[in-house]
A = this chain, B = another copy of it.
Amino acid sequence: MAALMQRTIVISTYATASKDLISSLSSGQYATVYNLLSFAIASLLFTSLFLLLVQGRVAPRYRNALIVSATVCGIATYHYFRIFSNFKESYPAGSTVDSAHALSAVQFNEGYRYVDWFLTVPLLLVETVAVLALTRAASRHLLIRLVPASALMIALGYPGEITLSTGPRIIWGVLATLPFIYLIYVLFVELTRALDGKTAEVRRQISTLRVLLIGSWMVYPIAFAFPLLGGTFFSGASGFVLRQGGYSIADVLAKALFGLLIFRLARTQSILDEPLIYGDAEDVHGAEPRAVPGARKAT
């Protein structure tokens, strides 16, 4: 524990060192990051509320996936509010609207994103498994592989994110990639085995979910690698805008859009399982109005 704390303190020292590199943002760069952070707040907050409000449109066994997905978007919303106000404090307005926003004494805290991912990335995998409504044994088999690997991936990425040196950035980046590859294996091989008995439409939607998850996660290592590319575009203030913008868009795709696709899959399965309860009238009876509740038992 003491060793861990010591390491944390050392890590935080690197963190401090990396912030002050971006000493100033142009007003255009500032506005770009500012608007993308606000876009992320709006998308995540209202996806979270939406997912809670539509609980009744899916069968009970799929509701847990929606609750976990709403929790993920809620946790991310909390962190985006923090990042947003931190960003305003770190880069206050200059003397005129066109002035550069110089770094204040308040450091821009990259830690929020990693705390967020540490909590939300394992939960994204939990919601993915939950929406499949597998047996408890099959769910457990997947979760004990996916959850620890995803937490490890984030924990290994953090030291690389905050270091200023190229060598350690590459080493931590490569180490974090190992659990990422393992996650891809579990999602594409082990999870596929658990899908026997699902219809073609359900399998197609699960494929889309997987591609979105892995695809949006690819943004993080790419943004992570920007400082390694160097050049005026990928480093300095311009690289900062790219990285913050890339992370924000990736979070909206991997959490908000992903949550909506989880809802769509839960809805499709609910209709397949219990068309009389969850299907729209047209799905069940052509153009006839939905049967009244009392008539259900008679069918």
Q: Mark A1-35, 1 if CB is under 8 A from B, else 0.
A: 11001101110111111011000001111011011
Cβ of A186 < 8 Å from any Cβ of B? no
List residues of chain B with CB within 8 A of the CB of A233: 2, 6
Cβ of A261 < 8 Å from any Cβ of B? no
**Count of A interface residues, CB-CB < 8 Å:** 97
Is chain A's binding surface mostly helix, strand, loop or mixed? helix
Please measure, in the bound complex, the distance between the C-alpha atom of A31 and the C-alpha atom of B46, giving whole angstroms.
Answer: 30
* Contact indicator B277/A241 (Cβ below 8 Å): no
* Contact indicator B38/A50 (Cβ below 8 Å): no
A residues apposed to B, CB below 8 Å: 1-2, 5-6, 8-10, 12-17, 19-20, 26-29, 31-32, 34-35, 38-39, 41-43, 45-46, 49-50, 52-54, 56-57, 59-61, 63-64, 67-68, 70-71, 74-75, 78-79, 82, 93-99, 103-107, 109, 111-112, 115-116, 118-119, 133-136, 197, 233, 238, 241-242, 245-246, 273-274, 276-277, 280-283, 287, 289-290, 292, 294-297
